[in-house]
Structure 1
Amino acid sequence: MTFTSNILISLLAIFILFNSSSAANLVYNVKNYGAKSDGKSDSTTPFLSAWVAACASTSPATIYVPPGNYLLRSIMFAGQSCKSSAITIRIDGTLLAPSDYNVIGNSGNWLKFERVNGLSIYGGTIDGQGSRLWACKTSGKSCPHGATSLAFYNSNNIVINGLTSTNSQMFHILIDGCHSAKLQGLKVSAPGDSPNTDGIHIQESTGVAILSTHIGTGDDCISIGHGNSNLWIENIACGPGHGISIGSLGWDLEEAGVQNVTVRTVTFTGTENGVRVKTWARPSNGFVRNVVFQHALMVNVHNPIIIDQNYCPDHKNCPSQGSGVKISDITYQDIHGTSATQVAMKLDCSKNSPCSNIKMEDVNLSYMDQPASASCENAGGEASGTVEPSGCL
């Protein structure tokens, strides 16, 4: 090999190394686009500018948020025109919503991602500063509906890891119309009396996993709406809050069902409910099937196991026909702990569409160091192993 050939090969190797290294390290620091970390200056435009730049990259890109506090109004991060299919947002600081709830309270969402693919969010804190709106709602005054803190619509291959969400005006995290999302190591918190502050709400989505997460809110820790399938929820600490709920379902006559859901290794502490399936007392062709609730510890929970097919707040907008949602193939396995009420198991199923193939296996719930009781209507299935309270199936 000639001397010239060696030089050409070396130059080619350097060129390849340089370009691959550059492609792997495209970092867009929001401060370089004018973001201020003082918690007072509006950084909405700089964040959007960093997003546009990352989207324009044909290689993997990272948006970096350094330590500090960043004030943001409502933002929509649109992914339709993104060339990059692997954008990472790495947050070492805190994102703040405006303290005046009127600024984002009618927008529906604060931080909204739509039609994004291959997005990962690591670390950081998002603070919805919802306390003033909660006070407005509880006062009976006319108030904005409120904004979800972090929302994903029609997006695929989403990863959220190590994020803290606090004091959201409404839902903390919304997954809507998405395929393949992994949420892990999250901390979600709001006071127990904060209204409508669901921790994570999922609807019309498939392949969502929620893992190793602590949620304490004023509403459901995790709520599962219509049209969901293949959900995996594991290693969750829930409390305060309303528990983990499938529903409310069946508001519409034509509604997509819920199927293939696993909820396992969850500790519920002082919650209103434990594991719940809830449907409106209205005609519907919806369904809930192939659900497993497994390895749950109840600590002073008001309704540890509950199916409520007669949900009708204030007895309004609920025809007398009862719920049409078909509930079947629900398994409760290794559920134990304490109930804060005498009735620890309540299966209140629809007379028009009774629950079928309900399985209770190794359930042991007590009330104030004494046996608890069960209440069941229109529920069929079987019990195996030790089941206390007994007499339902």
Structure 2
Amino acid sequence: MKRNRNFSLLLFVVFLGILFITFSVISVEARKYRVKKSKPHKHQNDRNGNGNRNSPGPAPAPLPHYPTRSTIFDVMSFGAKGDGVSDDSKAIIAAWKAACKVSGATIEIPSNFQFFLKPITLQGPCMPNLVLQIDGTLLAPPNVGSWPKSSLFQWINFKWVQNFTIKGTGIVDGQGYSWWKYSSIYFLQKNSKHIPDMKPTALRFYSSYDVTVRDIKITNSPQCHLKFDSSRGIKVDNITISSPESSPNTDGIHLQNTQDVEIHNSNFGCGDDCVSIQTGCSNVHIHHINCGPGHGISIGGLGKDKTVACVSNIIVEDISIQNSLTGVRIKTWQGGIGSVKNVSFLNVQVSDVKIPIMIDQFYCDKKFCKNQTGAVGIRGVKYDRIIGTYSVQPIHLVCSNEIPCTDVDLIDIQLKPSPGYRGFHQALCWNTYGKSQAPLLPSSIDYCLGKNGDPVKRIEKSHEHVC
């Protein structure tokens, strides 16, 4: 009996042991399950993108880092040497092509270096707000014979550029000395095959829009220093243009078929016109500039070889001209057609200028030119506050026999002879009609102009329709 009781007790203990072990295993598995359940699955998201709607999810992964693309293109990084001898043309072109693709890019011509360039074309269109920063010196080929015959029109040509700026503290040097020497020889030996009859412009813009040129110096161009052709929206600010007075045909700025132009705060001293305004120009404003020596501010020559010439809406004001052939001038060839109208020359200070005020409709750049009928009509020209000294003649207004100049106003003209003067005190007006208003000096200005008359206006207006 006692043995049976002990056996039963043993079975009970065994049963309790089995039961305890089973409960322990179940409890451990239950805890594992609860821990695993509480960790959000990588594919399980609530409406806010979190694994658990009641608690914040893990911090977002950082965005990938991409290096910022540089907008500075130093020509030295493209192989330029900057020693004034090596040809850096290819390096400049390479830098241009790379920068052209980047909005707001700057091409750097670093200071303290000289970059020798053969004739090049820098072509657009490019991304907007491209800048050419010239702080060093650009040098053109110095010898006439080293220029390719196909590149005699310009040295550095900008074509189809928009929203573009040239600026800096540097120099663009056309090294035109040999060209000027050859020009003198050319007039003596016109049949020479070794002397080109064309000379290059230093900087030329063709078919370009919204262009700014500021702060730089352009010097010694073989011919024009800065030319804008078939362009619009041009601003020139605080530049200096210079070449020897003996350099022939070296205009400072040359405008042709170009509209909406502002030129201001600049200095010009060169062998020809400080600013030359040619056919197809309108809405041009020139102000606060210093000009001389040279040929002053010129509109023309227009209508050569019986061509059409159209110029309108020109304002030249607040300028100083000294030691020049002319001050403010309009010049046309005989036989041309078209018109020059709405031109104002205001507040011009002249000093030792040979002829301060000029209209010449018999312009000729040779010893002899054949007389022709017809002319580019000139109407609506105002000269207001032209003050200073002259060395040959105060006023020379000579208009076509066939097409008179009309609506020409002379207001507040005060011109005195320069010291040592030996010339003509009388103002000369030929077939020029308009009005004069005191003060007027010399007094001959007061009766220089004829009065406007209806028959004269009808003749002049009949030749404007081509514009």
TM-score between the two structures when normalised by the length of structure 2: 0.77
Q: Helix, strand or coil for the counterpart of 2:100?
A: helix
Q: 2:375 is matched with which residue: 324, 328, 344? A: 324
Aligned to 1:365: 415
Are 1:101 and 2:153 matched, yes or no?
Answer: no
Q: 1:112 is matched with which residue: 157, 174, 189? A: 157
**CA drift at 1:86:** 1.8
**CA drift at 1:118:** 0.9
* Structure 1 segment 278-317 matched on structure 2, within 5 A: 278-282=331-335, 284-314=336-366, 316=368
Are 1:197 and 2:250 matched, yes or no?
Answer: yes
In 2, Cα distance between equivalents of 1:97 and 1:109: 11
In 2, Cα distance between equivalents of 1:3 and 1:125: 64
Contact 1:104/1:110 (8 A) holds in 2:
no
Query: Against the structure 1 CA distance between its residues 215 and 7, is the aligned structure 2 distance closer, same or farther, given a 3 Å change threshold?
Result: farther
**CA drift at 1:205:** 0.6
Are 1:245 and 2:301 matched, yes or no?
Answer: no
Query: Against the structure 1 CA distance between its residues 115 and 267, is the aligned structure 2 distance closer, same or farther, given a 3 Å change threshold?
Result: same
The CA RMSD measured in Å over matched residues stands at 2.2
Are 1:335 and 2:380 matched, yes or no?
Answer: no
Q: What CA deviation, in whole Å up to 9, does each residue of 1:149-170 have, x standing for no partner?
A: 0000000000001010111001
Q: What CA deviation, in whole Å up to 9, does each residue of 1:236-260 have, x standing for no partner?
A: 1111101110000011545240000
Q: What CA deviation, in whole Å up to 9, does each residue of 1:368-387 have, x standing for no partner?
A: 46993200000000011312
Q: 1:264 is matched with which residue: 307, 317, 320? A: 317
* Aligned residues with identical type, % of pairs: 36
**CA drift at 1:103:** 2.4
Q: 2:135 is matched with which residue: 84, 88, 92? A: 92
Aligned to 2:96: 51
Q: What CA deviation, in whole Å up to 9, does each residue of 1:293-350 have, x standing for no partner?
A: 01111100001000000112336554432x4110010000110000011x21010011
**CA drift at 1:286:** 1.3
Query: Against the structure 1 CA distance between its residues 5 and 379, is the aligned structure 2 distance closer, same or farther, given a 3 Å change threshold?
Result: farther
Q: What CA deviation, in whole Å up to 9, does each residue of 1:56-110 have, x standing for no partner?
A: 22x2211011111000000001114x3x122100011000001112223742100
> RCO (CA 8 Å, sep 6+): is it higher in 1 or 2?
1
Structure 1 residues not aligned, in runs of 5+ = none
Aligned to 2:448: 392
Contact 1:101/1:146 (8 A) holds in 2:
no
Are 1:216 and 2:269 matched, yes or no?
Answer: yes
Structure 2 residues not aligned, in runs of 5+ = 1-47, 49-54, 450-467
- For structure 1, which segment, 309-318 or 293-302, has the greater mean C-alpha deviation from structure 2 after superposition? 309-318
Are 1:26 and 2:57 matched, yes or no?
Answer: no
Are 1:138 and 2:189 matched, yes or no?
Answer: no
Query: Against the structure 1 CA distance between its residues 380 and 38, is the aligned structure 2 distance closer, same or farther, given a 3 Å change threshold?
Result: same
In 2, Cα distance between equivalents of 1:167 and 1:272: 20
In 2, Cα distance between equivalents of 1:320 and 1:109: 33
Say which one has the larger Rg: 2
Contact 1:199/1:221 (8 A) holds in 2:
yes
Contact 2:303/2:309 (8 A) holds in 1:
no
Amino acid at match of 1:388: L
Q: Helix, strand or coil for the counterpart of 2:337?
A: coil
Amino acid at match of 1:129: Q
Higher strand share: 1
In 1, Cα distance between equivalents of 2:235 and 2:306: 31
* Structure 1 segment 133-212 matched on structure 2, within 5 A: 133-139=179-185, 140-141=188-189, 142=192, 143-144=195-196, 145-212=198-265
Query: Against the structure 1 CA distance between its residues 134 and 90, is the aligned structure 2 distance closer, same or farther, given a 3 Å change threshold?
Result: same
Q: 2:104 is matched with which residue: 25, 50, 60? A: 60
Q: Helix, strand or coil for the counterpart of 1:314?
A: coil
Query: Against the structure 1 CA distance between its residues 4 and 209, is the aligned structure 2 distance closer, same or farther, given a 3 Å change threshold?
Result: farther
Contact 2:306/2:334 (8 A) holds in 1:
no
In 2, Cα distance between equivalents of 1:378 and 1:104: 47
Contact 1:299/1:337 (8 A) holds in 2:
yes
In 2, Cα distance between equivalents of 1:382 and 1:278: 21
In 2, Cα distance between equivalents of 1:90 and 1:368: 43
Amino acid at match of 2:340: V
Are 1:347 and 2:391 matched, yes or no?
Answer: no
Q: 2:83 is matched with which residue: 34, 38, 41? A: 38
Query: Against the structure 1 CA distance between its residues 7 and 240, is the aligned structure 2 distance closer, same or farther, given a 3 Å change threshold?
Result: farther
**CA drift at 1:127:** 0.3
Higher helix share: 2
TM-score between the two structures when normalised by the length of structure 1: 0.91
In 2, Cα distance between equivalents of 1:174 and 1:103: 23
Amino acid at match of 1:305: I
Contact 1:223/1:245 (8 A) holds in 2:
yes
In 1, Cα distance between equivalents of 2:57 and 2:248: 74
Aligned length: 379
Q: Helix, strand or coil for the counterpart of 1:264?
A: strand
Q: Helix, strand or coil for the counterpart of 1:257?
A: strand
- For structure 1, which segment, 379-388 or 311-320, has the greater mean C-alpha deviation from structure 2 after superposition? 311-320
Q: 1:79 is matched with which residue: 124, 142, 147? A: 124
Q: Helix, strand or coil for the counterpart of 1:118?
A: strand
Q: 1:122 is matched with which residue: 160, 167, 170? A: 167
Contact 2:302/2:309 (8 A) holds in 1:
no
